Amino acid sequence: MAKLALKGGEPVRKKPFPKWPIFSEREMKALKDVLESGFWGVGGSRKKEFEEKFAAYQHAKYGIAVTSGTTALEISLRALGLGCGDEVIVPSYTFMATAITVLYVNAIPVFADIDPETYNIDPKSVEALISERTKAILPVHIGGRPADMDALLSLAKKHDLYIVEDACQAWGAEWKGLRVGAIGEMGAFSFQSSKNITSGEGGIIVTNSEDLYVKAWSLHNCGRMPQGAWYEHHLPGANYRMTEFQAAMLLAQMERFDEQTEKRIENARYLNSKLSKIDGIKPLKDDERITRHAYHLYIFRFNPEAFGGISKSTFARALQAEGVPASVGYSRPLYKEPYLEYFKKCPLSCPHYGKSMDYSNVKMPAAEKACYNEGLWLPQYVLLGSRDDMDDVISAFEKIKGNIDEIAGEN
């Protein structure tokens, strides 16, 4: 009789992991207070309170709360004046928003490879792609693990480039004691429902520059100026304002965030110590300059050869069958996404660009390996479980390894 749950055997666990999102009376009261205040949008105090609190939490001077992480990225790029003919270097292993926002402002995303050991943008690949048109680097702190900011800042300095951090998965993450987001010029965070702090949807921009703050503030508020009249529109903005309900939820969520982050870190370290002993499983490398990991994702590397040649998706399905909600994550590098085709004329072949960008020849080996063969994820809520829950995760890996003959060669 089969042992593996994928083949009809008994699963390692039938219990669910902690439910996500988490809320309590705190969120219910916060929402009720907003309802009763009569200010559900403009005129309320929660948005401003959240902006100040979150920016300070990220060691930034200013925060602008918006509708999503995507919006936060787009406004940041626009505030920096990026547009026609400008190239922005982005990683190939990330969510689609990282690149589409560059296209939204009519600039050109140039895809860099990732470091095979951290899955973050590889500064060596970035350097090789810098051209006279490059204006910015857009690193992503993937899964909550800060990118190599020392190397990126030094490239930015040398070539006079902006850095916009996609910190949409990295609340509270730290590089050498400094929280991410405003290490470069501007940074974007997401509060979409899977995220470690959530209001269903939402985002925030952080910066230390007063000038960029005023521009981004205006862009998220129909082009108004902080001291200007209501019907006076200076910049090409629109309504991207966060609601009072979202801000109230986020203020409540922040109260339990540090405790949750500590738990995720503790459990991730435990998983690292045990899973790294299994031949064919490698947790991503933690750079010693990272002083705090946000663990939005627990990403690990899977070597099919050590697992009877099964594909990463079969391994994910085998884990799921054992009761562990593993995911294949990004399954193709971002430069292969069909949406890029929609930008073929403008901006990718725009006369202002002076040449034509064709992504069909792009090949970033580390990103391709991560997507096609190697990179698997456990979601953040798994890391909120108990030590027994982590032992179940480890048992599931070991069980699959020990009974690999049952699924060897499956794709």
Ligand X SMILES: Cc1ncc(COP(=O)(O)O)c(C=O)c1O
Exactly one of 190, 246, 261, 314 binds ligand X (CB under 6 A); which one? 190
Closest residue to ligand X in the complex (CB): 69
Binding of residue 310 to ligand X (CB under 6 A): no
| Distant-in-sequence, close-in-space partners of 29: CB < 8 Å, separation ≥ 6 | none
Of the candidates 296, 343, 102, 81, which has an alpha carbon nearest to the alpha carbon of residue 180? 296
| DSSP β-bridge partners for residue 109 | 88
Query: Of the listed pieces 23-31, 82-90, 92-100, 353-361, which binds ligand X according to CB under 6 A?
Result: 92-100
Strand arrangement of the beta sheet that strand 297-302 belongs to: 281-283, 297-302, 375-379
Residue 299 pairs in a beta bridge with: 377
Residue 183 CA to residue 159 CA, distance in Å, equals 17
Distance between CA atoms of residues 166 and 340, nearest Å = 19
Considering only 168, 235, 252, 394, the residue that binds ligand X (CB under 6 A) is 168
Residue nearer to ligand X on the CB measure, 97 or 396: 97
Q: d(Cα 93, Cα 95) in Å, to the nearest integer?
A: 7
For ligand X, give the closer residue by CB, 245 or 307: 245
For ligand X, the closer CB: 187 or 347: 187
Q: Which helix (DSSP H) or strand (DSSP E) does residue 255 occupy?
A: helix 244-275
Rank residues 204 and 281 by Cβ distance to ligand X and give the closer one.
204
Interface with ligand X, residue 94, by CB under 6 A: yes
Distance CA 6, CA 65 (A): 44
Interface size with ligand X, residues (CB under 6 A): 14
Q: Does residue number 143 form part of the binding site for ligand X (CB under 6 A)?
A: no
* DSSP secondary structure letter of residue 140: B
Shortest CA distance to 206 belongs to which of 225, 183, 181? Answer: 181
Q: Which is nearer to ligand X, 4 or 97 (CB)?
A: 97
Closer residue to ligand X (CB): 245 or 353: 245
The alpha carbon of residue 220 and the mean position of all alpha carbons in its chain are separated, in whole angstroms, by: 21
Which residue's structure tokens are 């799921």? 320
For residues 367 and 305, give the distance between their C-alpha atoms in angstroms, rounded to a whole number. 19
Q: Count CA within 13 A, CB hemisphere, residue 313.
A: 7
State the minimum distance, in angstroms, from the CB of residue 409 to ligand X.
33
As beta bridge partners, residue 292 has: 174
Select the residue interacting with ligand X from 6, 60, 64, 97 (CB under 6 A).
Answer: 97
Closest CB to ligand X among 195 and 399? 195
Strand boundaries in 208-289, DSSP class E: 281-283
Q: Is 161 exposed, middle or buried (0-12, 13-18, 19+ CB in 10 A)?
A: buried
Shortest CB 341 distance to ligand X, Å: 21
Nearest distance from C-beta of residue 211 to ligand X, angstroms: 24
| Choice from 74, 166, 185, 374 touching ligand X (CB under 6 A) | 166
Output 94 or 134, the one with its CB closest to ligand X.
94
Shorter beta-carbon distance to ligand X: residue 95 or 302: 95
User: Of 242 and 390, which has the nearer Cβ to ligand X?
Assistant: 242
Draw the binding track, 103-142, toward ligand X (x: CB under 6 A; -: no contact): -------------------------------------x--
Minimum distance, C-beta of residue 113 to ligand X, in the bound complex (Å):
17
Should residue 192 be labelled a site residue for ligand X when binding is judged by CB under 6 A? yes
Smallest separation (angstroms) from ligand X to the CB of 194: 7
- Measured in degrees and rounded to the nearest 5, phi and psi for residue 221 equal -130, 55
> Rule CB under 6 A: is residue 314 a binding residue for ligand X?
no
Per-residue interface string for the shown chain with ligand X, residues 197-236, x marking contact by CB under 6 A = ------x---------------------------------
Q: Which stretch binds ligand X (CB under 6 A): 23-31, 90-98, 124-132, 326-334?
A: 90-98
Helix residue spans in 276-348 (DSSP H): 312-321
Taking CB under 6 A as the criterion, which residues in 37-76 touch ligand X?
68-70
Checking DSSP bridges between strand 297-302 and strand 375-379, what pairing results, if any? Answer: antiparallel
Name the residues that contact ligand X, by CB under 6 A: 68-70, 94-95, 97-98, 140, 166, 168-169, 190, 192, 203
